[in-house]
Structure 1
Amino acid sequence: MRWEDVYVAGTGVWLGEPESARSALDSGAYDAQQHAADDIVSVSVADSSMAPPDMAVHAATTALKRSGLDAEDVDLLIHSGIWFQGVDMWPAASYVAGHALRRGVLAYGLEQECNGGLGALEIAARQVGTGPGTSAAMVTTADRFGAPLVRRWSSEPGFVYGDGGTALLLSARGGFARLLSTASGSDNSLEAVVRGPELRPLPSGEPLDLLGRVGHYMRAHGSVREATERVAAVMDSVVDTVLADAGIGRADVTRVVPLASGRSRMEWQVPQLLGIPLERSTWEFARTVGHLGAGDQIAGLNDLLERRELKAGDRVLLVGGGSGFSCTCAVLEVLDAPEWEPWRPGE
C-alpha cells in the first residue's frame, strides 16, 4: 500500500553491553563450525536487572525526544516481543505506553514473532494515514534472552540472540523520512516448521528447543527445502509489491535492513533473494548486536541514522519475516537526515 503524509519522526534503541563470540567459543556455548558460518563478532547482552519493557521505555523516550513531539501528540502505541516480557498474563504494552508516553494513550500488544516490529509499523501507518493531520503512533519492541530457558548462542542455527529494545515514531505532521509504502504476506501452514510434535495444554517450563522442533518437521516431511522455497516465495512477492507501490525497483534501493542473522543466512536473504549487494545491507551492525527478536529493522535503521550513512533522497527497504510465516516490508525515503548522537551501549 502506498502512503501519503505518513512520516518517520524519530527512532530509538536500548542495547546492552557486547558479549564477544570469542568468549562464547571459549566457554563452549558457541559451536566453532556454526561460528564459521555465522561470522558473528558479538551480541548485545542486558544486565541482570533489565526487563524487556524497560528497554522499550528507554527506546521510546529517545524516539519521542528526537521527534520534537509531545507525549500528548501520540494516539497509539503497539508493542511486540517474541519472548517473556517481565510478568505472565500482563499487558506489557500498557506499561510501555504509561511510562514512555501517558496513561490515556491506546496500547496494544502484537504477537507476530520476528515480523512483529514491521507488522506493527504497517498497522500504525494505517492509524496515522487515515487519522487527522495531527495523528502520531509509536511502535516498540523488546526482548531479553537468557539461560537456562534460552541458549542465545545455539538455540537456532544461523541466529544468535541479542537483548534490546527499539522504538519508531510515525507522524502525520512530518519527519526526517517519508513512508512511501508497506506490504505484507503470509503462508500460515508454515507454523508447523517450529511447532514441534504436539500442542501442550500448559507451559512445559523446559528450555527453548527450536532445533528439536525443526528436526521433527524434517522427519515428518523429509526436509525443510520446500518450506524454505515457500518462505522465499512469500518474501519475493511482498518485496515486489512494496517496491512497485513505492514506484521504485530493486536497483533504486540505497540500503536494505533485513533480519539480523549470521552471514550465511544474510547472504541468502540479501544477495540471493533480494538481488541487493550485501554491502548495502546492515550486516556490519547486525554482526555486532545479534538478532533482536522483533526489533532488527528499527535497530538497523537507527544505526544507519546515528552513523550518518543516509542522506536526503536515499530509499531504505526494511524487510521483515517471522515464523508462521509472515512477512512485512516497508520503503522509506529520507527527506532530511538527522544529526543524532550515536548510541552508547547500556544507556
Structure 2
Amino acid sequence: MGELPELAGLSPAERSVCLGLGIERIRADREPDAVGLAERAAHEALAAAGLGAQDADALIVVESRAPQTLLSSEATRLQELLGARDALTFTVGGLGCVSLTPALLTARGLLAADPELDHVLVAHGSTPAMRGRYRHPVTVNGDGGGALVLSRTGSVRLLDIVQETNGKYWDLFQVAYRDLPSGSWRERCQDPATYSFRLAVETRNRLTGLLEGLLKRNGMTRRDVAGYVTQNLSSGSFGFTEESLGVHILPACRDNLREFGHLGPNDVFLNLYTALERKELAEGDRAVLINVSPVAAWSLLLVEIGAGESTQ
C-alpha cells in the first residue's frame, strides 16, 4: 500500500488510518471498466456451472457506483457482450455493498414465480467511482468482477435472507460531481463522528437483532453456525463485527482483505468460496454472510454447503 498514489496528499492522521486498515495490496486493472470486469466474471461463473450465455434465463446486474455514461444501459451492454440475448435483464442497486442482497432476493423470487425459469445470472464489476482508491476512514477499493449463477440445485444452498435500512444516513458519504471534471471528484464523509460512533452503535444493534431473528426463524442457535463471513473493509471492521456479535470471522476474510482490499458487493462471496476452497467449511455446514453499507443498510445471508433443491 506504500505505492498508493494518493498517500502523498493525505494528512498525517489520514495516512495513519489508511496504512492501518490491514490491506497490503490491491488489484488495479487499467483496461476493463466495471462492465468488462463483470463480463469476465460472468463467463467464468457460467463455465463453472456447465452453462453458456444462452442458458441464462435472467441477468441481474448490480449497478456500478459511477457508470461510464448517463442514460445508456450498463445492464443491456453486459447482456450483449455476453451473448445472453434472450435473458430477462435489469439492474438493482442503491445500497452500496448491500446491493447484492436485493439482487439475490429478486433472483430467488424469479425462480419461485416462474417454473420455466432455471438459471439466473447475477453479476457486478467493482471499480472506484473516483481516481483515488482510499475511502477515508473506511477502506481501499480494488478492482474486481463477481458473478453467481442461481439455480434450483447447486453446491451452495441459499436458505434465507434478511435486510434492513435506515434512510437517516442516506448522504453520510457522498461525491459531488455535477459540473466537476472527474479528476476533481472527492468522496467526503459528512460527519466522521456519526460514522465512527452513532452508526457504529446502530450497526452493532442491527446486526445483533438480524442474527437473532434469522437463526430463530430457521430453528437454529449460534452453535449451528459453522462460520461467519463478512465484507473486506479493514482489520478493525472484522474486530468490530466479532466483538459485536460474539463470533469468529473465517480466516479467508482477513487473507482476502490483505490481498485484494475492498471489492464492494463482490466481497462476501469471494470470501465464501475462498473458505470452501481452503476447507474452512465442509459439506453440511451452515454459514452466515454479513454485509453492511454506510447508506445505511444491513443484511445477512444464511447458506448451507451441499447440493440440494434450492437456489445456489
Calculate the aligned-residue CA RMSD, in Å.
2.8
Q: Deviations over 1:69-92 (max 9, x none)?
A: 343442221112442233332211
Deviation at 1:170, TM superposition (A): 0.7
Judging changes above 3 Å, is the alpha-carbon distance between structure 1 residues 139 and 274 closer, same or farther for their aligned structure 2 residues?
A: farther
Deviation at 1:231, TM superposition (A): 2.8
Return the match for 1:332 from 272, 285, 303: 303
* Regions of 4+ moved over 6 Å: none
Return the match for 2:75 from 85, 93, 110: 93
Match for residue 137 of structure 2?
157
Q: Read off the aligned partner of 1:157 and give its amino acid letter.
A: P
Is the CA contact 2:120–2:149 (under 8 Å) kept in the aligned structure 1? Answer: yes
Instruction: Specify every segment of 5 or more residues in structure 2 that has no aligned partner in the other structure, as ranges.
Output: 308-312
Judging changes above 3 Å, is the alpha-carbon distance between structure 1 residues 35 and 310 closer, same or farther for their aligned structure 2 residues?
A: same
Return the match for 2:236 from 246, 261, 264: 264
Match for residue 264 of structure 2?
293
TM-score, normalization: structure 2? Answer: 0.85
Report how many residues are paired. 303
Match for residue 212 of structure 2?
240
Q: Read off the aligned partner of 2:131 and give its amino acid letter.
A: V
1:178 and 2:157 are equivalent in the alignment: yes
After superposition, residues 67-86 of structure 1 pair within 5 angstroms as: 67-86=49-68
Q: Deviations over 1:247-283 (max 9, x none)?
A: 32333222322121111122112x1122212345612
Deviation at 1:188, TM superposition (A): 1.3
1:45 and 2:23 are equivalent in the alignment: no
1:254 and 2:226 are equivalent in the alignment: yes
CA distance in 2: counterparts of 1:32 and 1:192, whole angstroms:
24
Match for residue 64 of structure 1?
46
1:123 and 2:106 are equivalent in the alignment: yes
For the residue of structure 1 that corresponds to 2:27, the secondary structure is strand
CA distance in 2: counterparts of 1:89 and 1:280, whole angstroms:
42
Deviation at 1:224, TM superposition (A): 5.0
Q: Read off the aligned partner of 2:151 and give its amino acid letter.
A: S
Deviation at 1:102, TM superposition (A): 1.2
After superposition, residues 24-39 of structure 1 pair within 5 angstroms as: 24=4, 28=8, 32-35=15-18, 37-39=20-22
Instruction: Specify every segment of 5 or more residues in structure 1 that has no aligned partner in the other structure, as ranges.
Output: 1-20, 337-347
Q: Deviations over 1:36-69 (max 9, x none)?
A: 53121211211x2211101101111111111123
For the residue of structure 2 that corresponds to 1:288, the secondary structure is helix
Match for residue 169 of structure 1?
149
Match for residue 255 of structure 2?
284
Return the match for 1:54 from 32, 36, 41: 36
After alignment, is 86-95 or 303-312 more displaced?
303-312
Q: Read off the aligned partner of 1:176 and give its amino acid letter.
A: S
Q: Read off the aligned partner of 2:144 and give its amino acid letter.
A: G
TM-score, normalization: structure 1? Answer: 0.77
CA distance in 2: counterparts of 1:279 and 1:302, whole angstroms:
11
Judging changes above 3 Å, is the alpha-carbon distance between structure 1 residues 241 and 284 closer, same or farther for their aligned structure 2 residues?
A: same
Is the CA contact 2:43–2:53 (under 8 Å) kept in the aligned structure 1? Answer: no
Match for residue 7 of structure 1?
none
CA distance in 1: counterparts of 2:274 and 2:179, whole angstroms:
37
Judging changes above 3 Å, is the alpha-carbon distance between structure 1 residues 26 and 55 closer, same or farther for their aligned structure 2 residues?
A: closer
Q: Deviations over 1:110-159 (max 9, x none)?
A: 1221111222112211112332165221111112227xx3321x322131
For the residue of structure 2 that corresponds to 1:328, the secondary structure is strand
Q: Read off the aligned partner of 1:86 and give its amino acid letter.
A: Q
After superposition, residues 129-144 of structure 1 pair within 5 angstroms as: 129-132=112-115, 134-144=117-127
Deviation at 1:334, TM superposition (A): 0.7
